[in-house]
A and B are shown apart, each in its own frame.
Chain A
């Protein structure tokens, strides 16, 4: 190999050092937030004078934070279900269908990933204003669905492309209708891609703040939106607690996704 690790000599230490510093740079803010969430000082003092779970108790007793958590979960789960469902149907059409504009449509489905989210947010806000969807759960879910769909379409289309259509044909000759064959053979065969689509669709909504700020109303605020609001009004340790919980949730799901991917490759 061009860059054999053992042949790098002294450069090896430089490489390792840079990697370590870079990791610290990325991780330290997160670690700081986690530390601050257990900080006894209510002014986010660092290093903490002493440690406490007080702020956690406070957050879990606060109806506003709890309603935000519920909103985040409601939006996230709805987006996940719709994203995987629509992504599955769309992928079947994109991979197995034979129609004009297929390649264009496939690229189109992925554009939300490269479009700046603030552009999308303003555009959706304008459209939803006319449809009276602003501030509603439906509007929120629809907006996040646009962002989440690429995360479904990409893994599912690639899994379908790798799955030989002749296997489905074999099921049809075995006596299954085309739909039975898809549901009983093709869908289970690509189940790992579906799980991965679900995880990343959920995360796309769970972590999202820009579009969410435009879609939120006083009664419907997801966790990132409320954190944003709290940050501007009063800097309290609650924010550190909620941020820690958000990071924890994301980390667990990312770990799950990594396990799924390892399962797929073995």
Chain B
């Protein structure tokens, strides 16, 4: 494989002694859609702002096409960016906003006019060209911002939580737009969000940030089905975490014993251990309920059953007083659903369970 298109190499940034970004490294291929996902304060936005040039890293290097990006001032980096807040130029019309980066570059008038038309078509706002930003909805403003950021064919497009100010329905609509624009233009996108669903929906790869470090990089399925750490498992999707005892371990598989003595075999061991205490992760949708009594599974009592349309969400209290979340799709439901107060066994296959433990 040739040199990566964009290479982030061991960048770090400290503010007054605290490490906002702690030796982050990541290689990104041309045309890739990579999302920086993580809780607020995890360093994902700071990393983006270092690439944009508004934050100077304390250490490390960013290479674009083999050349240092940090040595280039922000206005010459050729980077497009859509911000979290609305940043259209308030005194300019939609068309003038999109034309601004081309005017600054002193492109010929005819070329600017063509490009503005092309961009308005791309974000489907042809009818809005004469409007002022104040006359547009939030979603329209962010689409114009996207058009402005792409007007000069940037080498990278940065997006810093561009949809966080919008309501859920509009957000999903514009996610679709962003996906389409990415496919149509083929631009390399770095996207920051704290919304896991947004990350899963949009990205080719996700870099999950925590405490200024990347916990794991991979596509959505990697992170969901093969989490490297308990943090990843907890952040992506819903999880049950059980305190367990490791009975036996061989290679990447183990046998664990739950607090009530139930032994689960063939459990997969995560790449990176969590803390000192061995912890077992069970996804709610990988669990199913069997009638109470003797047999495989963790014995418990149903304390809540909620009908959610496509599935039933149970809460089952175990013998050691922990509530386990169980989701049963309607299609998988044989007969009547379990009622509150019913004795059940929570069953699971070992290959769908994950152990975080220092072995």
Contacts and interface: CB of A to CB of B under 8 A. Distances in A.
Interface string B75-99: 1111111011111111100000000
Interface in B274-308: none
B75 A175 contact: yes
Interface stretch (B100-108, B174-182, B254-262): B100-108
A176 B75 CA distance: 6
B90 A173 contact: no
B152 A174 contact: yes
A173 B52 contact: yes
Given A172-B75, A173-B80, A175-B75, A166 B85 contact: yes
Interface string A153-187: 00000000000101101111111111011001100
A189 B54 contact: no
B75 A189 contact: no
Residue with the highest number of chain A CB atoms closer than 10 Å, among B80, B88, B89: B89
Contacts of A170: 81, 83, 87, 89, 145, 148
A188 interface: yes
A190 to B, nearest CB: 10
A166 B158 CA distance: 14
Given A169-B54, A170-B81, A175 B105 contact: yes
B40 to A, nearest CB: 17
Given A173-B52, A174-B148, A167 B89 contact: yes
13 contacts: A164-B87, A166-B84, A167-B89, A169-B52, A169-B81, A172-B75, A173-B79, A174-B149, A175-B105, A177-B75, A188-B91, A189-B89, A189-B90
Contact of B74 (A164, A167, A172): A172
B89 A171 contact: yes
A42 interface: no
A166 B74 contact: no
B72 to A, nearest CB: 12
Interface string B301-321: 000000000000000000000
Q: Identify whether the interface residues of A are mostly helix, strand, loop, or mixed.
A: helix
Interface of B: 52-54, 73-81, 83-91, 100-101, 104-105, 145, 148-149, 152
A191 interface: yes
A172 to B, nearest CB: 5
Residue with the highest number of chain B CB atoms closer than 10 Å, among A170, A172, A184: A170
Contacts of B52: 169, 173
Given A166-B85, A167-B89, A188-B91, A180 B80 contact: no
A191 B90 CA distance: 11
Contacts of A184: 100
Interface of A: 164, 166-167, 169-178, 180-181, 184-185, 188-189, 191
B83 A180 contact: no
Contacts of B77: 173
Contacts of A181: 75
Nearest to B91: A188
A183 to B, nearest CB: 12
Nearest to A177: B75
Contacts of A188: 91
Nearest to B54: A169
Residue with the highest number of chain A CB atoms closer than 10 Å, among B74, B79, B87: B87
Given A169-B54, A184-B100, 20 more contacts: A164-B85, A166-B84, A167-B89, A169-B52, A169-B83, A169-B87, A170-B81, A170-B87, A170-B145, A171-B89, A172-B75, A173-B74, A173-B80, A174-B148, A175-B76, A175-B105, A181-B75, A188-B91, A189-B91, A191-B91
Nearest to B88: A167
B101 A175 contact: yes
B75 A185 contact: no
A264 B91 CA distance: 12
Contact of B104 (A167, A176, A178, A191): A176
Contact of B152 (A166, A171, A175): A175
Contacts of B79: 173
A181 B100 CA distance: 10
B89 A166 contact: no
Nearest to B90: A189
Nearest to B106: A175
